[in-house]
Amino acid sequence: MNFLNLKYFLVLAEDLSFSRSAAKLHISQQSLSAHIHKLETECGLQLFYREPPLRLTFAGEEFAKSAHVIMAEKEFLEKKLASLLDCQQGNIAIGVPISRGTILLPRVLARFHQEFPYVKVHLVEGSTNEISQELLRGRTDLNLGFETEDSERIESNKLYLERTKIVVPNSILETLPDCESMPETQTALSLRTFAACPFVSLHESTLTGSVLSQIAREESFTPNIVMDTGNLLTMLSLCCEGLGICICPNSFLIDNGPLINTAFLERVTIFDMKSDLGTQWIVANRLKRKYHSLPEKRLLKIIRDTYTDV
């Protein structure tokens, strides 16, 4: 039993006229009759009464009900397969700040590439402002970062809640009077706890650098910043080498392979911070009036699954 015979049967069952159905199907009446005869032979049942007026037999009426279901399922399957084929190809442009992309994307894109090996991913890296402009120009499909105030044109999809942590080199921690009890504490600490220690920081023009300044003002101390940088990974490297304490978003403090790994994390102790400053949602920003492909939606799901426990 093939789909063509079912299609021809359903057209004839609706029109109840060989001439009208044949014209609609752009075939001869003889050809249509042959298809119906073949279907009846295969079923072992008479589906039409041939004497005028043409009409369905009881078996034909029952057969038509099932044939409609079969053809509807066929159409659904064809559309689903076409959609799957479409999502196996194409391009996705992702806007991401340079440091965040270095940490966030390798694990995510490795999983994504396994599922969609023929989808080409183009990374647009830059400052938050630069990648925001690229999104508005339609040059990126989604940006990873923070929520935007432009809610009329851009929708923000929450991925995970990021919190800022206190990162203390073990070499500095060992010099503190109460160092033995500190690693075991489950209590969030005031940054002022480490006011006498050296700090390494991001420039105050950056978000993390600004958060450090705000917390210091709230807690009434002036951090002794011995080095500052514009690169978060450089700041973490300096901290790891024991040059100073830093504050850092927690999504940068998980084992990501060659950059941030177990060997690195063993050289520092990470504390929860009492202040909520620096706690914010990491989101995927997308233009509202733009088609969002299935691979793009799947990419967002992979990010959520990868970083849900950060």
Return the CATH class of domain 164-278: alpha beta
From first to last of the 310 residues of the chain, give the pLDDT tens digit: 789 999 999 999 999 999 999 999 999 999 999 999 999 999 999 999 998 899 999 999 999 999 998 988 888 787 677 666 666 667 889 999 888 888 888 888 999 999 888 888 999 998 888 898 899 888 899 999 888 888 888 999 888 889 999 999 999 998 888 776 666 556 789 999 999 999 999 999 888 999 999 999 999 999 999 999 988 989 999 999 999 999 999 888 887 666 677 788 889 999 999 999 989 998 999 988 777 778 888 888 998 888 776 5
SS3 annotation, 13-43? HHHCCHHHHHHHHCCCHHHHHHHHHHHHHHH
The DSSP letter of residue 260 is S
Q: Which of 59, 105, 56, 112 is nearest to 88 (CA)?
A: 112
> What pLDDT is recorded for position 257?
63
Contacts of 46 (CB under 8 A, 6+ apart): 40, 57, 59, 60
Q: How many CA atoms lie within 13 A of 236 on its CB side?
A: 22
The superfamily CATH assigns to domain 89-161+281-307 is Periplasmic binding protein-like II (3.40.190.10)
Contact 73, 221 (CB under 8 A): no
Q: Which of 219, 206, 209 is nearest to 275 (CA)?
A: 219
Are 3-86 and 164-278 equal in CATH topology?
Answer: no
Helices (H), the chain: 3-15, 18-25, 29-43, 58-87, 98-115, 128-136, 170-173, 207-218, 232-240, 262-265, 294-307
Domain spans, the chain: 3-86, 89-161+281-307, 164-278
241: left (phi over 0), alpha (psi -120 to 50) or beta: alpha
Q: Which of 209, 206, 295, 253 is nearest to 104 (CA)?
A: 253
pTM: 0.65
Return the CATH class of domain 3-86: mainly alpha
Tokens standing for residue 192: 């002022």
| Rounded Cα distance, 197 and 172, in Å | 8
Q: What is the dihedral of CA 108, 101, 304, 301, to 10 degrees?
A: -60
> What pLDDT is recorded for position 150?
82
> What pLDDT is recorded for position 38?
93
Q: Which of 156, 162, 155, 168 is nearest to 100 (CA)?
A: 162
